[in-house]
Structures are given as structure tokens and as C-alpha cells.
Amino acid sequence: MLIEDDVLDAELLDDEDEEDTQKDKFLTFFVDEEEYGIEIRYVTEIIRMQKITQVPDVSDFIKGVINLRGKVIPVMDVRLRFGLEERPYDNRTCIIVINVEEQAVGLIVDHVSEVLDIPATEIDPPPKMYRGVKGRFILGLGKVEDGVKILLNAERFLFDEEGQ
């Protein structure tokens, strides 16, 4: 598994000078039975589940906030963001901390899979008939070996309030 102790120790994730090495790379993770990917350039770390402080009057998919080394970070349950049924967290559930437009957010996922290299030539746009909550968050469909990974648009995923 990619998690070592409480934090993913990856120099690649912290070094802004390495942006070219992050091109076409996606961190993949599972939610329900589907495998999703998010551009690695947004990922700052992966941490184990920890105590989440609930915050009143927020969207249902926002579980609350965590204190990560002195910084308060909102945490979103990806299952709930997709309109899926909530499930109990287990020892594989983790939080992917991403940073989009100077906003750090934790994404609770069922489990992390791997980092994949998916060139732009292997990414198809989402089908026009793919509608609903998940559809508007899709950047594209990455063709990997004999499978397909659903690649998320990080900005829309965090900030798109349409339909909420």
C-alpha cells in the first residue's frame, strides 16, 4: 500500500520544480466498486483516517475538519459527494489531501490504488450521455491496459455547487 506510517512520503508530491515529471500522472483510488483518478499535481499527501471535527451548517458531503500539523483542513466524503450510500470507515479508508487554487481539502476514499501514467492521447472525453452528479466532475476517461479509469476534474469536484 502507498501509505507509510501516517503520511505518504513522496518527494515528487512536494517539489514544484518537478512539475514536468507530474505530467500525465494520476493518483488512482476506489470509491464503491469504481476506480477514479485525480491529477497527481493536486495531491500533497495521503493520510490515515483520523478524528474529524464536525462543523455545523455545511453540505452533507463535508464531514468536518481535521488538524493536520497545525493547519485546519476541511474533509469531504467522496461517496457522499457522488450521492452514494455512506459506509463505515475501515482500515483501508484514507484521506487524500489535495490543494486546488490555494485551498487544501481532504478527500475520504475507500482506498488508494496506485499512481498511473496516463498520457493525454489515452484520455477520452466523457460521453455526452453521462449526466448526474458524477458526470459533471469528470475530466475524462483514461484507457489503461484493458480497463478504464474515471479521471476527475479537481476544480469542479471541489467548487461546483450546481445541483446542490
List the chain pLDDT tens, one digit each, 164 residues.
Answer: 344 444 444 444 444 455 567 889 999 999 999 999 999 999 999 999 999 999 999 999 999 999 999 999 999 999 999 889 999 999 999 999 999 999 999 999 999 999 999 999 999 988 776 655 557 889 999 999 889 999 999 999 898 765 44
Domain extent listing, the chain = 11-159
What pLDDT score was predicted for residue 116? 96
Q: Which CATH class is domain 11-159?
A: mainly beta
12 burial (CB, 10 Å; 0-12 / 13-18 / 19+) is middle
CA dist 61 → 22, 46, 92, 116 (Å): 29, 19, 19, 27
What are the DSSP calls for 61-88, one per residue?
A: TEEEEEEETTEEEEEEEHHHHTTPPP--
